[in-house]
Amino acid sequence: MSIFLDIIKDHIQYGQQIFKLAKADLVKTYRGAALGWAWAIIKPAVTIFVYWFTFQIGIRGIGKEVEGFPYFLWLISGVIPWFYMSDIITGGTECIRKYSYLVTKMKFPISTIPTFFSISKFMVHLALLVIMILIFIIMGYPPDIYLLQLPIYMLLSFMFFTVFSLFSSLLACMSKDFSNLVKSLVTAVFWLSGIIWNINTLKDIPWLKSLLKINPVTYLVEGYRNCFIHKTWIWESPKTLIAFLVILLAMIFAAIWIYRKLRKEIPDVLN
């Protein structure tokens, strides 16, 4: 508990610096490119087009309507939250090494580095969400009352992947093998989490469907789709909500435990 309170105090004490560093990280990401900030939109747009073309045009019959919505809308409602998640899974694991000078030269609190990195990526996520909502409106599917729960799923996503970033980035400082392992698993997580295929089609394998639904990535992706496609409230699936919260708490405890064990060693490792 004392370590957890120390982390909270660091975030409060360095709150202003955290947001400044998040902005600096965002600017640094697109600095030097001719199109600049446009790449924050272009790259996701190209990826979405490839997925849509593959499953709607290339492999016909797979990209069918889902619950009365065009496959394209169903696709972007899951892929756009995945962009933020994948950035944190890969980039978040490397964030302490990337900003090692903050630890070795400026004595900046280690626990706050994953936070400002996550905020930086979340800003892009917010911009993409606005664009997605506009696309839904243009295609004749305006927001309804279910969109009110979107901030809850956004908060849960931010909390889970920020904590995961702290956990994974600390381990990655101690072992590059862990970093390589995480990177190698990203593709598997993408294909197994129902991001571009509908897990509800697994009616004949109920145990597999239930197992996939407690995957945090699947839960959050389905949560976003609850707001736009499925039209269901967060409390209508209490078992999966409880499972996610248990996993979130376990991740928090794991991150705190790793932080307590490694926080004094990390500066020496990074030097």
In the predicted model, what is the mean pLDDT of the chain?
Answer: 83
- Evaluate if residue 121 carries a pLDDT over 60: yes
Lowest-confidence pick of 48-57, 68-77, 122-131, 193-202: 48-57
- Evaluate if residue 63 carries a pLDDT over 70: no
pLDDT at site 212: 80
Residue owning tokens 């994974």: 168
Higher pLDDT, 227 or 55: 227
Higher pLDDT, 126 or 2: 126
> CA–CA separation, 228 vs 222, rounded Å?
10
Instruction: Count the domains in the chain.
Output: 1
Q: pLDDT (tens digit, 9 = 90+) per residue, 161-194?
A: 999 999 998 888 888 878 888 888 888 888 888 8
- Evaluate if residue 34 carries a pLDDT over 50: no
pLDDT at site 160: 95
CB 214 within 8 A of CB 208: no
Lowest-confidence pick of 49-53, 82-86, 127-131, 264-268: 49-53
CA-closest candidate to residue 6, choices 263, 267, 266: 263
| Confidence grade of residue 149 (pLDDT, cut at 50, 70, 90) | very high
Residue owning tokens 């944190």: 88
- Evaluate if residue 198 carries a pLDDT over 90: no
- Percent of the chain clearing pLDDT 70 (strictly above): 89
> CA–CA separation, 192 vs 211, rounded Å?
11
Which distant-in-sequence residues (6+ apart) come within 8 Å of 149 by Cβ? 226, 227, 233, 234
Q: pLDDT (tens digit, 9 = 90+) per residue, 218-234?
A: 999 999 999 998 888 99
Range of the domain at 190: 2-270
pLDDT at site 55: 64
Q: pLDDT (tens digit, 9 = 90+) per residue, 75-114?
A: 889 999 999 999 899 888 888 888 888 877 777 888 888 8
CB 169 within 8 A of CB 95: yes
- Percent of the chain clearing pLDDT 90 (strictly above): 29
CB 157 within 8 A of CB 220: yes
Locate 24 and state its tokens: 């600096």
> CA–CA separation, 150 vs 130, rounded Å?
12
CA-closest candidate to residue 118, choices 77, 85, 153: 85
Q: Please give the model's pTM, rounded to 2 decimal places.
A: 0.86
CA-closest candidate to residue 80, choices 134, 125, 42: 125
Phi–psi pair at 66, nearest 5 degrees: -125, 115
**Angle ∠(255,260,261) on CA atoms, nearest 5:** 100
